[in-house]
């Protein structure tokens, strides 16, 4: 990758010397040639344009940091980069946007760049992670959950005897399942994971590795609303902003066990009306051509009944009935 970074910089310098044009061509959804002529395929981030000058400087800054990582090894966090020069960077949001630009330019993920966001994901259950520095993160010796490592590439090997992985959308549901002794109630070894809402790259990467390296079936439980379905799709297929690098982060075999919108009428309580934002999100997801028929049907159920429900509406029988029933009877999409 260091050669790719150097190539981008050489191309920039040549353009600057020959044409006085200090501009990066940032692909919108994947790699696009500067000479392709596709005006809609990229954004111009130019030093010559005052509106994009700061963004241009941050992309140069990010390329320099990434090149150093590729030569010397190691990693950075977005937070660490911000605090190294807050006057230049201004906010963490700005440096995160520059990182995304470079991901698009190099057609890779933040994990591969080595510029990471602090992990927020939690995990517990039958799992040990053997780190490259010799440390061992063993969930079996903790009474609660552990925070996933920020740099998941430093997890050299994952050891588990679990039968499956269960991902839950929210931390509150994660804690509730632990309090209600999910492991003892269900009677099967499992790994419980949450990304605390919209998942970060570390959580998605660990789930991908559990599925591909440990060959564990993975299930997910989200709210019966369009934003819960969006989160399920991010785990399964990758995010919209980095769809071109979803291979390292997506888990296509992820099984959606609930809550399914078609179940809302049977819940009898806990459902509330959809908002205009909910309906807009439904239309946005339905417009994507890669959505499978089962998910599409559930989205249309939301449109039809105009109601949504949270996981908490079945919390009283979640671990004793709902989850075991869905898994044992293969009631998933």
Q: If you write DSSP's letter for every residue of 139-163 in order, what string do you get?
A: GGG-SS-EEPPS-GGGEEEEE---S
Q: Are residues 222 and 93 in the same domain?
A: no
Strand, helix or coil for residue 125: strand
Catalytic residue annotation:
83
User: Which of 223, 225, 224, 232 minimizes the C-alpha distance to 251?
Assistant: 232
pLDDT of residue 257: 97
**Number of structural domains found in the chain:** 2
Q: Are residues 213 and 302 in the same domain?
A: yes
pLDDT of residue 239: 82
pLDDT of residue 269: 76
Tokens of 171: 């931390």
Q: Are residues 134 and 64 in the same domain?
A: no
Residues of the chain with pLDDT under 50: 30-38
Q: Are residues 142 and 261 in the same domain?
A: yes
100/115 Cα distance (integer angstroms): 10
What is the CATH classification number for the domain harbouring 235? 3.40.1360.10
pLDDT of residue 29: 63
74 belongs to a structural domain: yes
Q: Are residues 26 and 163 in the same domain?
A: no
pTM of this prediction? Answer: 0.85
Q: Are residues 245 and 143 in the same domain?
A: yes
pLDDT of residue 248: 84
pLDDT of residue 222: 98
pLDDT of residue 41: 80
pLDDT of residue 37: 40
pLDDT of residue 245: 58
Q: Are residues 250 and 130 in the same domain?
A: yes
Domain end marker among 82, 116, 150: 116
333 belongs to a structural domain: no
Q: Are residues 110 and 218 in the same domain?
A: no
Residue numbers of the domain that contains 12: 2-116
Q: Are residues 12 and 127 in the same domain?
A: no
209 to each of 1, 157, 216, 220, 238, how far by Cα in Å? 22, 10, 9, 16, 14
């Amino acid at each position: 990758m260091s050669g790719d970074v150097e190539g981008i910089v050489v191309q920039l310098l040549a353009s600057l010397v020959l044409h006085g044009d200090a501009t990066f061509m940032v692909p919108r959804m994947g790699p696009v040639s500067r000479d392709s002529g596709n005006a809609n395929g990229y954004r111009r981030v130019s030093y010559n344009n005052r509106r994009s000058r700061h963004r241009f400087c941050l992309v140069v800054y990010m390329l320099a940091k990434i090149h150093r990582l590729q030569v010397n090894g190691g990693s950075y966090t977005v937070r660490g980069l911000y605090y190294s020069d807050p006057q230049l960077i201004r906010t963490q949001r700005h440096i995160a946007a520059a990182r995304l630009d470079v991901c698009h330019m190099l057609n890779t993920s933040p994990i591969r760049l080595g510029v990471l966001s602090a992990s927020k994901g939690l995990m517990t259950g039958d799992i040990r992670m053997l780190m490259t520095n010799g440390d061992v993160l063993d969930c079996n010796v903790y009474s609660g959950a552990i925070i996933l490592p920020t740099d998941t590439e430093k997890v050299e090997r994952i050891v588990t005897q679990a039968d499956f992985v269960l991902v839950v959308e929210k931390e509150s549901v994660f804690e509730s399942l632990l309090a209600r002794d999910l492991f003892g109630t269900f009677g099967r070894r499992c790994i419980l994971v949450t990304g605390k809402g919209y998942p970060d790259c570390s959580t998605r990467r660990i789930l991908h590795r559990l599925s591909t390296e440990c060959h564990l079936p993975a299930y997910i439980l989200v709210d019966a609303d369009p934003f819960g379905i969006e989160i399920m799709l991010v785990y399964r297929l990758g995010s919209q902003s980095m769809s071109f690098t979803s291979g390292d982060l997506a888990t296509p075999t992820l099984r959606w066990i609930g809550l399914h919108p078609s179940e809302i009428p049977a819940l009898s309580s806990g459902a509330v009306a959809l908002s205009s934002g909910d309906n807009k999100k439904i239309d946005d997801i339905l417009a994507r051509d890669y959505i499978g028929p089962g998910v599409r049907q559930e989205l249309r159920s939301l449109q039809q009944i105009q109601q949504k429900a949270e996981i908490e509406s079945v919390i009283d029988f979640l671990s004793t009935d709902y989850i075991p029933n869905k898994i044992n009877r293969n009631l998933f999409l």
